[in-house]
Chain A
Amino acid sequence: MTLFHFGNCVALVYVPYYLTYKYSGLSEYGAFWKCFQASGIYIFIQVIKMLILATFVPTTDNVVEGVDVFGDLIKLSIDLIDYVGKYLVLSSIPGKGHAKILTAGVGWAGAEVILTRFLDLWVGARGAEFDWKYIQNSLDSNICLVHHVATVTLVWLWSRHDLNQSAFPIVVMLLSACAYKQFLFDFLYNYLNFTRWNLLLVNAAFTSIVGVITLNIYSNMAKVIGLF
């Protein structure tokens, strides 16, 4: 719409990231370079994903209407590579406990938000046409931050051998739920005619629940191994 609107959207997208970086203590660790490394791995993983998508997945342009369940399943399964990437980040960044997980999560989400959102905002939100979708996307990228931090934590938990046996299935379940949540949203959008605002709410609720459960398991774990 205007440059002002663009400014609004940018603030909505990036200020929470800055706040997380600043006030969660990452800045005290001097973790900026580590975040940057995490971003580098993010880009590397995205390139690999694109290569796999382009090489092995058939194009679905000819699907006339309705939801292409199989195609979506493959695409979302390829997104599982993200978990490998996150594991890579966790294993290659030195550091202890909380700082390590937060660095990986913020770096990963930060790279995503810069690479996928900024162009969209610059081209769209600055244009003459007003659309709520830029505000919605901005809010969505806030949810992404929580999502990525939560999944990085889950991946970290999954990689621990000293994880409580009873918690292991929950971790795996949450991981797969996070990977395939897009299914749920597509279903709601296509068959129950959810508006984009409602989807955003559902996404927020879903991600907060995952976040809270993850936080619980993590804090138990942290007590056990004496991170406090």
Chain B
Amino acid sequence: MFVLEEDISEIFKNTFTYYFVLISIILFVAPLSSVEGAHEFQAYRMHQFDFNSVAYGCRSASVNLEVHSLLTWSTARHCIITWLLEMSIDQYKLLSNKAGCVLLILPQQMHALSEEEKTMVLMLEKYMMSLDTLTPTYFAHWSPELDKIATDVNHGLTTTNTKESAVQALINAVAGNRYQLVINANKPTPTPDLHIASVYGTLAGKSTRGDIDRLPTIVIVAHYDTMGIAPELAMGADNNGSGLVALFELVRLFSTLFGQPRSHAPYNLVFLVSGGGKYNYLATKKFLDEEMEEIGRNVDFVLCLEGLASSPDAVNFFVSKPPKPGTPVDKFYQIFSKVASAKQQQHHSSSSPSPSPLNITVKHKKINLQDAWLAWEHEHFSMRKYRAFTLSALENHKDIRRNTILDTKDSLDIPTLTRNIEILAESLASYVYNIQDSSIFQSSLKVEKDSILSHIAYLSHTRRSVQLSPSNSKRNPLVDNFSWMLSKYLKQTGSSNSGGNSVNSGTGSVSSSSSGGVPIVKTFSFPQDRREPDLVTYTGSGFTSPAHVYTVKPIVFDLVLLAGIALYLYVVYLVIVAGVPKFL
């Protein structure tokens, strides 16, 4: 028996010690696991970009700081966790560049805010967007745990000053819970080789003499990118998801119409899904520079779509120059108004709950070249002497609802959007066929709500901010998808053969699916100038990082604990020394 024991202990003496040493080394070397965190959640960083050499957004990302409330913070070593609705512009002014970090908890239900709250958030967002700050600013979705932490921090600490006795305050100072916010993120660095991609497709008109190029062309434009204070959260359902939906719906309807020889109109339709829309419509400018010639010289007008569901009772024609009577823009405006009023009467007669009366107005805004930000997409076209306007339900170009994280699928007014798309489709059909009757889209061929919903569902779940576009890649999966959606319909109209071919031009890459020489759907992307880039975006850890909030104790607590343990051990010592030897 004893020999066996010796053997066993020999084994343990040899192999087990090696294992133990090995495990200890691994544990010493291995980084501390952060899985033990009290609460882990996803934090969304505020945006960051340089536009025309002006810096916007927050410049840093990494955080490891003690959490404080708005009332108790004092130095750059403190981090503030509070609710977005509790934050005001003045407070943020105080915080930015002074506090260590700001984490804002989004409202539990973003779409269920009251009008006042919405305005407050929008104003704050607008202010924050104009800033350039060193304070890492993060956003997080509401969760019960995070809410509790914020409540603890905000209320627990403020009441100590007033109500509790000195003893309690002392206990709190020594043993009270503190929170530590840790966000491990790499330092943001400029995105190398940023490409902005766009796609356009052509729906060729019916030409009797075979010169498609001479046919009048209508260009329909919608930008696909979004902007919000946090790029990851900017879903842009209305701006510009609604414009995109309208564009895709028009593609679907008119490709069907043009597919029939009887209803093939003598107009070319060009659909442009443009990138960089939130940064002075960079891709639109590029499109004008490089692609516009290809689509033909006889451009009737350019129709830009943006924010079609912003307000239920207005649709505005934004122009850079008031349209003269008889010009295509004016003609289209007249048709649009007529179709809209007919639609309204239809609503009245069908005695459905009538929506508020629809006001259609032409709003004139001169192009201001001094302004760093271009107001509307059509201004690029107007500057090149094309007849162009933007169709939008927004009030004006300064509307704060254009760039916001509140613009989600849930807050989108789908009935308004559907109605506006219906009016738009009918007016465009009336225009290209030159007929007065506005009931072209009926029964089998009409604006489908399901189609709109599916587009909205896709768009409002896809992050479309330019700041999130892939680096070092000329291809953008999002734009590839748009290209696929366009070619699904536009393929049918051309001649039978269609295939992909790729053309590399000097400035960027172009890929197209062509049919009979004329490309039908064409993707073009272009890089930023190396010396003077218009736009510099930043990557590092991206705009979302896992965040941890740890419960910690102050350092004094450890010292007090040490004293307590020392006392306890002394008692143990006394007991052992006094007690045990009696038996030996």
A interface, CB within 8 angstroms of B: 1-2, 4-5, 8, 11-12, 15-16, 19-20, 23-25, 36-37, 39-41, 43-44, 88, 91-92, 98-99, 102, 119, 122-124, 126-131, 135, 142, 219, 222
Contact = CB atoms under 8 A, between A and B. Distances in A.
A91 B4 CA distance: 13
A41 B580 contact: no
Contact of B9 (A40, A88, A124, A135): A40
Contact of B576 (A2, A4, A20, A222): A20
A195 to B, nearest CB: 16
Given A98-B584, A127-B550, A128-B37, 9 more contacts: A8-B565, A15-B572, A23-B576, A23-B577, A25-B584, A37-B5, A99-B584, A123-B33, A127-B32
Interface in B525-584: 548, 550-553, 555, 558, 561-562, 565, 568-569, 572-573, 576-577, 580-581, 583-584
Interface of B: 1-2, 5, 8-9, 12, 16, 27, 32-34, 36-38, 177, 180, 182, 548, 550-553, 555, 558, 561-562, 565, 568-569, 572-573, 576-577, 580-581, 583-584
Given A92-B5, A129-B550, A129-B551, A12 B576 contact: no
B566 to A, nearest CB: 8
Given A4-B558, A23-B576, A128-B37, A92 B1 contact: yes
A43 B16 contact: yes
Contacts of A128: 32, 34, 36-37, 180, 182, 548, 550, 552
B13 to A, nearest CB: 8
A126 B32 contact: yes
- Interface of chain A, helix or strand or loop or mixed? helix
A119 to B, nearest CB: 7
A219 B580 CA distance: 12
11 contacts: A4-B562, A12-B568, A16-B576, A37-B9, A44-B8, A88-B5, A99-B584, A123-B27, A123-B33, A128-B180, A131-B551
B548 to A, nearest CB: 8
Contacts of B568: 12
A56 B305 CA distance: 71
Contacts of A43: 12, 16
Nearest to A149: B580
A124 B553 CA distance: 15
Contact of B581 (A1, A25, A39): A25
Contacts of A41: 5, 8
- List 10 tightest A-B contacts by C-beta distance, closest first: A40-B9, A24-B580, A128-B550, A129-B550, A127-B36, A25-B584, A4-B558, A40-B12, A23-B576, A130-B553
Contacts of B37: 128-129
A56 B555 CA distance: 49
Contacts of A142: 572
Contacts of A102: 580
Given A44-B8, A130-B553, A11 B569 contact: yes
A124 B577 contact: no
